[in-house]
Amino acid sequence: MTAVVETPVINPVEPFLRMDRMPHIWCPGCGIGTTVNCFARALIESKADPEKLAVVSGIGCTGRVAGYLHVDSFHTTHGRAIPFATGLKLANPSLQVVVYSGDGDLFAIGGNHLIHAARRNIDLKVICVNNFIYAMTGGQTAPTTPEPATTTTAPYGSYEPAFNLPYLTESAGATYVARWTTYHVRQLTRSIVEMLQKKGFCLIEVLSPCPTLYQRRNRLGDALETMKYYKERSKTRHGAPTSEVGLTMQGDIVVGKFVDRDRPDYLESMRRRLAEQLGDKFAGVGVLA
Amino acid sequence: MQANPKGVLTGTHFLDGDQACCEGALAAGARFAAGYPITPSTEIVERFAWRIPTVGGMFIQMEDELAASIAILGAVWGGAKAFTVTSGPGFSLMMEHIGYAAMTETPCVFVDVQRGGPSTGLPTLPAQGDMMQARWGSHGDYEIIALCPNSPQECFDVTIRAFNLAEEFRVPVMLMMDECVGHMTEKVVIPRAEEIEIYPRRHTARGPGEYWPYETNGDLVPEMAHAGEGYRFHITGLTHDERGYPAMNAAAQDRLVRRLKNKIRAAADRLALYEEEATEDAEVVVVSYGITSRVAQRAVEMARQRGIRVGKFRLVAAWPFPAARLRELAQRVKVFVVPELNCGQMVLEVERAAAGMARIIPVTHAGGDVHRPETILEAIVEAAR
């Protein structure tokens, strides 16, 4: 008789997840988990060494991503994932440092840090999940909330203009800027692979449904209907001028890779300048005493 | 272990307190500093920015104090010894990350060169108004260590101590300087590297797979690992368990918060450093710290010349506060005179320690100048009456 050995079927992304922390906290229909799946698949595809990868998150629903990834992971303070990641990356330049956070965390409370990290061209890979709302706290207005969406703090509809995240990030100096939605899982995965190979400050904006708070409160249907919206209204335009990719409520969504350029990153500029000025006296930028 | 000679500027120097603090940090092994300019602390990082490329390491000027105070924490988890420096308004902005450092047990040093407050206050003039903020400024229950040097030499020595304690207890350590001590120039002797004792990082000896970031073994201070070493650990400012995983319940909160407090409290006797002079026969004891202790010194001498039995008690550590020793003294001292450059902060601790056994005379000052020795003398005379 032949013994039948049953090998358990393991999802290929499992080695990158802290399975001992499942189930996660995200709501049914939330898109954050989809982005994590794409991220893990991108790690597999790019053959990234998980031991040389650190993920830094801020606070919020997307801020919980760090805690579910089985890599060195840091759940920091609200808005400060980027400056934490800056210190981490500069202290250990051999690390691939990914910042994974939400639109409110990165562009409202953390907006100043984002533009300065982009200006300096710190070698950080930022994944910004944009659900148009502060979800963890119950659905308040975010800097991305489109007019005239209703939130708990804009009960009569928002009347603030929303930030165009790719435009802002490109203007500040990022070397790579792309946008996808959680409908575009293959494109998003490819984009993450590409970003991980890039040097400098990179950002991918991922539109994601928040069926519990954004879609429901605005009577936009459930997560499936949001997928249909993403599918029908997304227009892929690689290289589109970022000034033209602003979002409107339920309007067209321009997706694609908008920026892919090269310029020296912060450490490179620092090393070059100091070596030029100090010659043999320059002792390097290694911080390990 | 001994200091790395690369950072030690052995010799006799003429430095101000800010410069001496920078040299102390370099001697202690700090190789990463992040800062945001603010008077009267900026000279510390200006010197660091000038010195560090030839020592090996880096300085980064961040976009604000929130960024500076968390960039150093990122650097520590990347393997560096790191610090930031600031003054009142910037110290207020750093409070959240002092709490984050306490919660995540990230060893680091925050230097506050105090100036007049509240708000923008007196940017170029001294005060000691942040002493309670250093202890209580971030939300929630936690413990920190705060040291208050009174000379450029001590700025050097105590900065090294600050880094050592940060490593030993995995806690943010505050160096509470003041504008006068920061800008006063005096002789500073920097010893040879082999004479400087350095407390090494409590790096775990365990391998990946056998390590949890907040597991403790009898000792109340857990061992550390750095990112990129294969441990694949998680760190969060949420209440967490031994694995570093969020644990949202009262039992986990109780276990964690009490350990964070107890690791300092258990060592309070040896951490609460002070200096005592002529207290054996004293009826009156002047309790002071920082620049005020230098003025108090003069007042005590004047009072002694007048035959008043007065002693001096100087806080080298403000937190933990040397309550036990002051309580002992309170049993035989009639009066504690407490001059400070604020409207009465550490005097509350003296009062608490004295527990009604001795009278307390605060000598307050809103800041912007130091006391006149005569003002402190008057209080001593009144105390002895």
Q: What percent of chain A has pLDDT over 90?
A: 96
Single out the residue of B375, B356, B374 nearest to residue B365, CA to CA. B375
Residue B216 lies in a domain: no
Q: Which residues of A touch B226 (CB under 8 A)?
A: 92
Quote the tokens at residue A192. 């993450």
> B195 phi and psi, to 5 degrees?
-95, 0
* Amino acid present at B111: V
User: Do residue B57 and residue A285 have CB atoms under 8 angstroms apart?
Assistant: yes
Do B154 and B22 share a domain, yes or no?
Answer: yes
Other C-beta atoms closer than 10 Å to the C-beta of B207 total 10
CB B85 within 8 A of CB B22: no
- Over range B180-191, report the average pLDDT: 98
Whether the Cβ atoms of residue B48 and residue B99 lie closer than 8 Å to each other: no
> In the structure, what pLDDT confidence band is assigned to residue B219 with cuts at 50, 70 and 90?
confident
Chain B residues with CB-CB distance to A265 below 8 A: none
The mean per-residue pLDDT over the stretch A254-258 comes to 98
Nearest to B62 among A66, A83, A287 (CB): A83
Listed by number, the residues of chain B in 143-182 with a beta carbon closer than 8 Å to a beta carbon of chain A are none
Contact A145, A133 (CB under 8 A): yes
CATH label, A14-263, candidates 3.90.550.10, 3.40.50.970, 3.40.190.10, 2.40.30.260: 3.40.50.970
Residue B282 CA to residue B296 CA, distance in Å, equals: 15
Exposed/middle/buried for residue A28 (C-beta within 10 Å: 0-12, 13-18, 19+): exposed
Given a cut of 80, whether residue B330 has pLDDT beyond it is: yes
**3-state SS, residue A262:** coil
How far are the Cα atoms of A89, A272, B56, B192, B315 from residue A275, in angstroms, in the given order?
Answer: 20, 5, 12, 28, 44
Spatial CB neighbours of B262, under 8 Å, sequence gap ≥ 6:
B220
Instruction: Give domain status of residue B154, yes or no.
Output: yes
Please give the average per-residue pLDDT across A212-229, as a whole number. Answer: 97
| Rounded Cα–Cα distance for residues A139 and A151 (Å) | 6
CB burial of residue A1 (10 Å; 0-12, 13-18, 19+): exposed
Among A107, A83, A240, which residue's Cα sits nearest to residue A164? A107
| Mean pLDDT value across chain A | 96
Beta strands in B257-334, from DSSP E residues, in sequence order: 274-277, 284-289, 310-315, 317-319
Measure the CA–CA gap between B159 and B175, rounded to whole angstroms: 7
Determine the angle formed by the axes of helices B152-169 and B17-28, rounding to 10 degrees.
Answer: 40
Query: Same structural domain for residues B157 and B45?
Result: yes
Domain boundary among B195, B218, B250: B195
Distance of residue A25 Cα from the nearest chain B Cα, in angstroms? 12
What pLDDT shows up at residue A289?
62
Say what percent of chain A tops pLDDT 70: 99
Whether omega before B152 lies within 30 degrees of 0, making that bond cis, reads no
H/E stretch holding A129 reads strand A125-130
State whether A288 and B79 contact (CB < 8 Å): yes
Q: Is the pLDDT of residue A4 over 90?
A: no
Asked whether residue B145 falls in the same domain as residue B289, the answer is no
- Residue B161 and residue B29 in one domain: yes
Cβ-Cβ contacts under 8 Å between A and B: the total is 171
Inter-residue long-range contacts of B41-46, CB under 8 Å, 24+ positions, other chains counted: B41/B85, B41/B86, B41/B87, B41/B90, B41/B111, B41/B112, B41/B113, B41/B177, B41/B182, B42/B18, B42/B85, B43/B16, B43/B18, B43/B19, B43/B182, B43/B183, B44/B18, B44/B19, B44/B85, B44/B111, B44/B113, B44/B182, B45/B85
Q: Measured between beta carbons, which residues in chain B are less than 8 angstroms from residue A92?
A: 78-79, 226-228
B167 and B303 belong to one structural domain: no
Residue A2 has pLDDT above 70, yes or no: no
How far is residue B21's CA from residue B4's CA, in Å, rounded to a whole number? 17
pLDDT(B228) > 90: yes
Q: Are strands B185-190 and A140-141 parallel, antiparallel or unpaired?
A: unpaired
Q: What is the domain extent for residue B65?
A: 5-195
pLDDT score at A1: 55
- What confidence category does residue A8 fall into, taking pLDDT thresholds of 50, 70 and 90? confident
Task: Output the pLDDT for position B184.
Answer: 98
Instruction: Copy the structure tokens of residue A81.
Output: 């994932």
> How many distinct structural domains can be found in chain B?
2
Domain ranges of chain A: 14-263
Q: Does A287 have pLDDT greater than 90?
A: no
Q: Does B325 touch chain A (CB under 8 A)?
A: no
Residue B346 is assigned to a structural domain of this protein = yes
CATH number for the domain that contains residue B324:
3.40.50.920
**pLDDT tens digit sequence for A67-114:** 999 999 999 999 999 999 999 999 999 999 999 999 999 999 999 999
Domain end marker among B195, B210, B233: B195
Is residue B254 one of the residues assigned to a domain? no
Q: B16 and B162, same structural domain?
A: yes
What percentage of residues in chain B have a pLDDT greater than 70?
100
H-helix or E-strand spanning residue B335: strand B335-339
Helices B290-305 & B373-384 angle (0-180, nearest 10): 60
Distance CA A114, CA A98 (A): 13
Q: So what's the pLDDT on residue A9?
A: 82
pLDDT band at B135 (very low <50, low <70, confident <90, very high): very high
Residues 22-81, chain A: which have Cβ within 8 Å of B? 50-52, 54, 56, 66-67, 70-77, 79-80
| A98 C-beta neighbours (distance < 10 Å), count | 28
Q: Do B246 and A67 touch (CB under 8 A)?
A: yes
Whether residue B341 is predicted with pLDDT greater than 90 in this model: the reply is yes
Tell whether B379 is covered by a domain: yes
Distance CA A167, CA A81 (A): 21
Tokens, residue B240 = 């967490």
Q: Residue B193 pLDDT more than 90? A: yes
pLDDT tens for B11-26 read 999 999 999 999 999 9
B262 within domain boundaries = no
Q: Is the pLDDT of residue B119 over 60?
A: yes
Identify from B36, B234, B242, B245 which residue to disrupt to test chain A contact, counting A C-beta atoms within 10 A and taking the largest count: B234
Q: Is A51 exposed, middle or buried (0-12, 13-18, 19+ CB in 10 A)?
A: middle
B231 touches chain A (CB under 8 A): yes
Asked whether residue B316 is domain-assigned, the answer is: yes
Q: Which of B195, B210, B242 is the last residue of a domain?
A: B195
B4 vs A: CB within 8 A: yes
The per-residue DSSP string of A8-51 comes to PP--TTGGGB-GGG-S-SPPTT-SHHHHHHHHHHHHHHTT--GG
Answer yes or no: are the C-beta atoms of A250 and A228 closer than 8 Å: no
- Rounded to a whole number of angstroms, the distance between the first and last alpha carbons of chain A is 63
Q: How far lies A249's CA from each of A14, A108, A218, A229, A253, in Å?
A: 36, 19, 10, 11, 10
**Res. B55: pLDDT tops 80:** yes
Is B330 a domain residue? yes
Residues whose CB is less than 8 angstroms from the CB of residue A212 and which lie 6 or more positions away in sequence, other chains included: A27, A29, A30, A135, A139
Is the pLDDT reported for residue A227 higher than 60? Answer: yes
Tell me if A169 sits within 8 A of A246, measured CB to CB: no
